[in-house]
């Protein structure tokens, strides 16, 4: 299933529901939904996005999740049962994250604090260093585990899995995502990152 340009544009400013459930261990935080994600109503849905392939490679999930046309109920339940969740810093869909203002990101950072306080995951992993720096006023933040917490919850910054982040590979993303997953207490299968 694909979406034409005009159809995708009709999803500008749409939202995608947060994906969280009971027993949340690791909350991934995207920057904001892309237009394909909004159309499919599934986080990280664009076919070129490496999020789910990286999770599989890291051993965080044990089967591929087909998401480009929308995640199936079975895959959604499996994801949630693994203790995984997804939300965004900013809820509105855009063609590119660069369309977001710093004010939107800062407001989203405050809303994320409240979201985390309510859902209480073991670990939060923000996917995107620039968005993290802007949302939380941390211009010198680096990748990895942060010195600060998010309301007492361990906080990590991991690479954005978008295909636009060309210097990352599925292998490098898998390695970056595996560390916060282990910190969150997820039961991981052996990594296949060296395959």
How far apart are alpha carbons 138 and 146 in whole angstroms?
Answer: 10
| pTM for this prediction | 0.95
Q: Where are the domains of the chain?
A: 5-183
- Which residue from 23, 17, 20 is spatially nearest to 38, judged by alpha carbons? 17
Query: What integer pLDDT is reported at residue 68 of this predicted model?
Result: 78
Render pLDDT for 4-25 as a digit per residue (tens, 0 to 9).
999 999 999 999 999 999 999 9
Cα Rg of the chain (Å, integer): 15
How far apart are alpha carbons 88 and 78 in whole angstroms?
Answer: 20
How far apart are alpha carbons 69 and 56 in whole angstroms?
Answer: 19
| Residue 195 pLDDT level (bands cut at 50, 70, 90) | very low
Give the Cα-Cα-Cα angle 150, 53, 93 (nearest 5 degrees): 60
Q: Are 58 and 181 in contact (CB under 8 A)?
A: yes
Query: What integer pLDDT is reported at residue 190 of this predicted model?
Result: 78
Structure tokens at 50: 């490496």
Render pLDDT for 20-44 as a digit per residue (tens, 0 to 9).
999 999 999 999 999 999 999 999 9
12: how many CB neighbours lie within 10 A of its CB?
13
| Residue 1 pLDDT level (bands cut at 50, 70, 90) | low
Mean pLDDT value across the chain: 94
The helix/strand/coil state of 50 is coil
Query: What integer pLDDT is reported at residue 188 of this predicted model?
Result: 93
Length, in residues, of the chain? 195
**CATH fold of 5-183, please?**
Uracil-DNA Glycosylase, subunit E (3.40.470)
């Amino acid at each position: 299933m694909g979406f034409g340009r005009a159809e995708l544009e009709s999803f500008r400013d749409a939202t995608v529901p947060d994906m969280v459930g009971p027993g949340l261990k690791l909350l991934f935080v995207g920057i904001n939904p892309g237009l394909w994600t909004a159309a499919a109503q599934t986080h990280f849905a664009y076919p070129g996005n490496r999020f789910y392939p990286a999770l599989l490679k890291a051993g965080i999930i044990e089967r591929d999740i087909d998401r480009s046309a929308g995640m199936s109920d079975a895959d959604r339940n499996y994801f949630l049962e693994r203790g995984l969740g997804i939300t965004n810093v900013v809820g509105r869909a855009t063609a590119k994250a660069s369309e977001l203002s710093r004010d939107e990101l800062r407001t989203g950072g405050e809303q994320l604090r409240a979201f985390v306080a309510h859902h209480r995951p073991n670990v939060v992993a923000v996917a995107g260093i620039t968005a993290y720096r802007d949302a939380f006023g941390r211009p010198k933040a680096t990748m990895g585990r942060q010195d600060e917490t998010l309301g007492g919850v361990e906080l990590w910054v991991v690479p954005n899995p978008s295909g636009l982040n060309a210097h990352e590979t599925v292998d490098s993303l898998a390695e970056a995502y595996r560390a916060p997953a282990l910190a969150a207490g997820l039961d991981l299968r052996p990594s296949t990152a060296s395959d």
